[in-house]
Structure 1
Amino acid sequence: MGCCTGRCSLVCLCALQLLSALERQIFDFLGFQWAPILGNFLHIIVVILGLFGTIQYRPRYIMVYTVWTALWVTWNVFIICFYLEVGGLSKDTDLMTFNISVHRSWWREHGPGCVRRVLPPSAHDMMDDYTYVSVTGCVVDFQYLEVIHSAVQILLSLVGFVYACYVISISMEEEDTYRFPEPNFLPHTISEDHGQSYK
């Protein structure tokens, strides 16, 4: 019963992770943030693999999921540090877009309560697209929304890691205890039985 409960909990957690990752992927696509898009894509694949491994009793797939959750937590901690500008990081750099474009987080201009106004460019700012946009009235700044998204991912991953380890341990115990009984044939018993049957 405990094994079923652990597996069912892990299936539910994987489903929640898939939903949250898909939601995050949509908004990262809208902001053209290529590094998070790539990370979300890999996360979705591994979570599907973990979900499949949990349903089909494949501990190796769950182990891959477990290793990935540790990497995913590390990546999300980096994103939190990036948006909070910890350790010399700056949220105004093009790091998340691989320096391909000057796009930023979608939440920068479309957060709750934000009023977006396009300003006429000045002569010396012709190359900087973001001088044309003024955003005011945001209830929550975009960097905190990104931090909240990453914190949710970390929470789900940590709980998923614990349940995945539990399911793997239960699977290993079942493999150890489930062994075919060794045949216990004694030659004299067989001969005696055959002798009695012929009589």
Structure 2
Amino acid sequence: MGCCSGRCTLIFLCTLQLLAALERQIFDFLGFQWAPILGNFLHIIVVILGLFGTIQYRPRYIVVYSVWTALWVTWNVFIICFYLEVGGLSKETDLMTFNISMHRSWWREHGPGCIRRVVRPSPPGVLDDFSYVSVTGCIIDFQYLEVIHSAIQILLSAFLEI
């Protein structure tokens, strides 16, 4: 088997895709975004299946992986449209948390250069709430970081489909 064979290339790209998905999964867990967590989890499972199929010469697993890759690209295009508020989508909705909680992207408060200030609610006895957080000075807005994550996933998937 040659060093630059299609099989080795697929293994390398799948490994990159797996690492990028794991990184994204960590930050989605930090932000309690349940829809992306579920999508990332399924993606990680199918990428592992694709790696196994490539290593063990299982063409059916590779076909499943290829079909999933098309769905994964569609999901990431939706994420990009969601954060850029294309059409009727709004990043201020609780769509990514399945309307379970008020959590948002972890990058909203912890992006590069962001200064986070917790403003205490004025009435005494009110529990601390995440809605009283002020964020200023971000080098890049959180929605663009989320778009970059999705674009990287799309590029890695596009390399696999070529």
Q: Normalised by the size of structure 1, how large is the TM-score?
A: 0.76
Q: Does 1:71 align with 2:82?
A: no
Structure number with greater Rg is 1
Cα deviation, 1:157-176, whole Å, max 9, x if unaligned, reads 111122xxxxxxxxxxxxxx
Q: 1:89 to 1:129 in 2, by over 3 A?
A: farther
Q: Does 1:8 align with 2:16?
A: no
**Residue matched to 2:21:** 21
Letter in 1 for 2:79: I
Q: Does 1:134 align with 2:134?
A: yes
Q: 1:81 to 1:128 in 2, by over 3 A?
A: farther
Cα distance in 1 for residues equivalent to 2:54 and 2:122 = 58
After TM superposition, the structure 1 = structure 2 runs for residues 58-137 of structure 1, keeping only pairs within 5 Å, are: 58-122=58-122, 129-137=129-137
Cα deviation, 1:3-54, whole Å, max 9, x if unaligned, reads 9611000000000011000000000000000000000000000000010111
CA contact (8 A) 2:17 2:156 kept: yes
Cα distance in 2 for residues equivalent to 1:3 and 1:32 = 41
Unaligned runs of 5+ in 2: none
CA contact (8 A) 2:120 2:128 kept: no
Deviation at 1:127, TM superposition (A): 9.1
Letter in 2 for 1:64: V
CA contact (8 A) 1:33 1:97 kept: yes
**Residue matched to 2:46:** 46
SS at match of 1:117: strand
Cα distance in 1 for residues equivalent to 2:7 and 2:100 = 42
Q: Which has the higher helix share?
A: 1
RMSD: 1.9
Cα distance in 1 for residues equivalent to 2:13 and 2:143 = 26
SS at match of 1:88: coil
CA contact (8 A) 1:119 1:131 kept: no
Q: Does 1:157 align with 2:157?
A: yes
Deviates more, 1:114-123 or 1:5-14: 114-123
Deviation at 1:121, TM superposition (A): 2.1
Deviation at 1:150, TM superposition (A): 0.1
Letter in 2 for 1:96: M
What percent of counterpart residues are identical? 84
**Residue matched to 2:35:** 35
Deviation at 1:2, TM superposition (A): 7.6
